[in-house]
Structure 1
């Protein structure tokens, strides 16, 4: 009986810790993509994007030039530091939050009311053994506990790198692994590709087949797409941005906009300032150019009720600083770039 009491106390503590992790993990702000990963990176969809190999100081993007319909940023880089937003990832999904809560609630119920609600090993009537549901929950606890603390550790590293502080070296213990030929399908194409590395410019891969390609014009183009997509997200509409998205991203945003309308919510995005636009990967496959870009930006990000205007989530006074990978693609040689996917740091794409 003593061992059984110790076991129940340990699992009860773990369940409470799990619920706390879920609550904290789901507290990320929304913005375009809901702070998660979506879309496709072609054959690299199953690998996390590589961090840029070195700071891009050749042509920093000016924060004083916001995209169409966006208000001007009002904060400097030396303003009080706010935490880097980690993004929501899997646990932003209402289904996953409900499932997690249901599992943890079921475990608490079984502990408080005698354990009759879960399966026990065959022939055991005392309920003293470890049931199948317990095994699942213990595994879930371990996974989400690890994910929560790993994300917090990455935040500290990214914040130090963002502000040029004395934190961990981005190329040190917390450096992102280089995704060289990480595709499960083998090489991306018969052409060269670039992913990380200490030397070279990833956009050189595109320039080899397009002599007219201009890096500065490309950065301006993708920054404009970034601002316009954020405006479309706030308006819950594809009007004016549909031609900037792949079909997969169009379908994704349609679903998100419909969900926001049904909930009666509007995600306000204000004072957007892009601090850095850093190409990190470039490759060609299936007749298309792909470029993954790391955006470093800050903005006011909060959710309001579309009838009352009351704030439901987020903060309308303190800006959120974040980093996201956006992947753009086009037909080789064509001028028009489209948004193909959004990734959080250290997260692969989520297929839709």
Structure 2
């Protein structure tokens, strides 16, 4: 095989690898994209306890802002941790450079004008992948808690026994001591549960309509940042994420507490929806099925400032 063929194959392989890297980053649908993100205050490092709705408990955060308790330590750890995306992209970039050098050594340069344009396109592709990957991996887990266990006051909901001692045991001795020192359990009213159900529909509707002002009113700044990143990525892909027919099927209160002047409530929800991705220009379906109802189990955490309204502060997947 000639050096020219090797160079061309090297560039082709690098191009395919870059395209494959984009797919998992872009394949996100519905608010949260099936990931765990946000903050549960002092309990952000702990998975939500199981409920009748979610017997397996919840997952820990995949995307979360640095802990307010130790921002310097979190930043230092992030800076010191090697970036998988950065290292992989550097490897692909090195492969492209090597392919170009092979071409130069063989006397074919970069393959003429078309080869040079192709190389520029590949470089732009690599830069875009690096940017997306760094944004995707830049936030990692953070702090979490435990409290009451009451069902949402809704027909068909099953009571969840409030076994505080069992839940505290799940947290571990150190985590329980820290949370107990700075949190206090609270009781919620029917109006609170009605607000949670309303927000489930309103957040999905605002996300589907790409209504950023509406999202800002209903979610915390951290959650808005995550949603904004996902919506921006959809615009770059040329797709729009549509969510409809959101219906709460069952729900249980997992935890409710007060800390640092704010109230928090983590609710296990089982709900149905229809979700599909459409091409922005043609309207053709890119992902999902607009005629198929999906069923989702997630933990939604809500936060309320004094005399304020509840806002979504976290979404976590059920285990």
Q: TM-score range by the shorter chain?
A: 0.5 to 0.7
Provide the rounded CA distance (Å) in 2 between the counterparts of 1:253 and 1:340.
12
Deviation of the 1:287 alpha carbon:
2.0
Secondary structure at the counterpart of residue 221 of structure 1: helix
- Report Cα offsets for 1:181-215 as digits up to 9, x if no partner: 6875943254765xxxxxxxxxxx323xxxxx51x
Give the aligned partner of residue 339 of structure 1: 312
Higher relative contact order (CA 8 A, sep 6+): 1
* Matched-pair contact (CA < 8 Å) for 1:329–1:340: yes
Superposition pairs for residues 19-30 of structure 1, below 5 Å? 30=29
Deviation at 1:253, TM superposition (A): 1.6
Counterpart of 1:305 (choices 279, 288, 308) is 279
In 2, Cα distance between the equivalents of 1:256 and 1:323? 20
1:338–1:178 distance in 2 versus 1, CA, 3 Å: farther
Q: Gaps (5+ residues) in structure 2?
A: 1-20, 64-83, 96-166
Residue 180 (1) aligns with residue 210 (2): no
SS in 1 for 2:212: coil
Distance 1:29 1:249, change over 3 A: closer
Q: Deviations over 1:103-154 (max 9, x none)?
A: 9xx9xxxxxxxxxxxxxxxxxxxxxxxxxxxxxxxxxxxxxxxxxxxxxxxx
Higher fraction of helix: 2
Structure 2 CA distance for aligned equivalents of residues 305 and 26 of structure 1? 17
Alignment partner of 2:240: what SS? strand
Does residue 314 in structure 1 map to residue 313 in structure 2? no
Task: Count matched residues.
Answer: 199
Aligned to 1:244: 218
Q: Contact between 1:223 and 1:277, CA under 8 Å: does it hold in 2?
A: no
Q: 1:55 to 1:226 in 2, by over 3 A?
A: closer
In the TM superposition, residue 283 of structure 1 has moved relative to its aligned partner by 2.1
Kindly indicate whether the alpha-carbon contact (under 8 Å) linking 1:246 and 1:340 is maintained by their aligned counterparts in 2. Answer: yes
TM-aligned CA distance change 1:266 to 1:45, over 3 Å: same
Quick one: structure 1 residues 27 and 247, their matched pair in 2 at CA, closer, same or farther if it must change by over 3 Å? Answer: closer
Cα deviation code 1:47-101 (max 9, x no counterpart): 211111x469xxxxxxxxxxxxxxxxxxxxxxxxxxxxx9xx69xxxx97x969x
In 1, are the aligned partners of 2:53 and 2:270 still within 8 Å (CA)? no
